[in-house]
């Protein structure tokens, strides 16, 4: 399914998952990864952090390309009021998935679309509830041998062997992958 008439966009992310989702949906876009240090503030909720980081990424690229529509996005996993970003080590990745095992968590993705030339900005957040299977330590180790957990929020990728770890989800599947696509056409229509 091709998107409705949408302006060309700049994806302010090096995420191969976001790139693939946009390509699969037929969008015309270029990639200019944001070169920013993400905000990690434990006093902020997962929703607040994703919004702040999506805005930060979009702003940094929009400053360099004021006439373009820039898409910044940020995804975090939240469990019991705590956020799980990208793990710093294999050990931290293992502990993250062990903590998620047999439980339901939230995946928050914030999207910020900006065009500086005319001051337009559209933001939205999508939340999906994801339930993990109860996993043994060996199942977690075997899963991590199949994929790189270090560049993924929560140390897992639903689209990479997700059947081994996921029990169910409620909400947007593309949100769990990294970019909630369902609301994007309407958001981009505001930039026509």
Give catalytic residues, as residue numbers: 74
The Cα–Cα gap between 111 and 21 comes to 14
2-36 b/e (C-beta count within 10 Å ≥ 16 → b): eeeebbebbbbbebebbbebbeebebebeebebee
Question: How far is residue 176's CA from residue 132's CA, in Å, rounded to a whole number?
Answer: 13
Q: Strand 29-31 relative to strand 9-11: parallel, antiparallel, unpaired? A: parallel
50 half-sphere exposure, CB direction, 13 A CA radius: 29
Q: Could you say which DSSP state residue 102 is in?
A: T
For residues 173 and 126, is the Cβ–Cβ distance under 8 A?
A: no
- Length of the chain, in residues: 192
């Amino acid at each position: 399914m091709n998107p409705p008439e949408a302006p060309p966009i700049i994806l302010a992310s090096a995420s191969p998952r976001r790139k693939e989702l946009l390509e699969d949906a037929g969008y015309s876009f270029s990639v200019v990864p944001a070169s920013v240090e993400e905000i990690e503030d434990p006093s902020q909720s997962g929703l607040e952090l994703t919004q702040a980081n999506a805005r930060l990424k979009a702003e940094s690229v929009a400053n360099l390309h004021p006439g373009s529509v820039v898409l910044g996005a940020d995804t975090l996993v939240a469990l019991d009021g705590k956020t799980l970003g990208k793990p710093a080590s294999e050990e931290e990745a293992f502990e993250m998935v062990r903590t998620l095992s047999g439980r339901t968590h939230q995946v928050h993705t914030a999207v910020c679309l900006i065009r500086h030339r005319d001051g337009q900005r559209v933001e939205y957040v999508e939340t999906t509830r994801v339930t993990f299977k109860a996993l043994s330590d060996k199942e977690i180790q075997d899963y991590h041998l199949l994929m790189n957990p270090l560049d993924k929020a929560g140390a897992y990728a639903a689209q990479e062997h997700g059947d081994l770890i996921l029990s169910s989800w409620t909400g947007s599947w593309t949100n769990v992958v990294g970019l909630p696509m369902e609301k994007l056409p309407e958001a981009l229509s505001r930039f026509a």
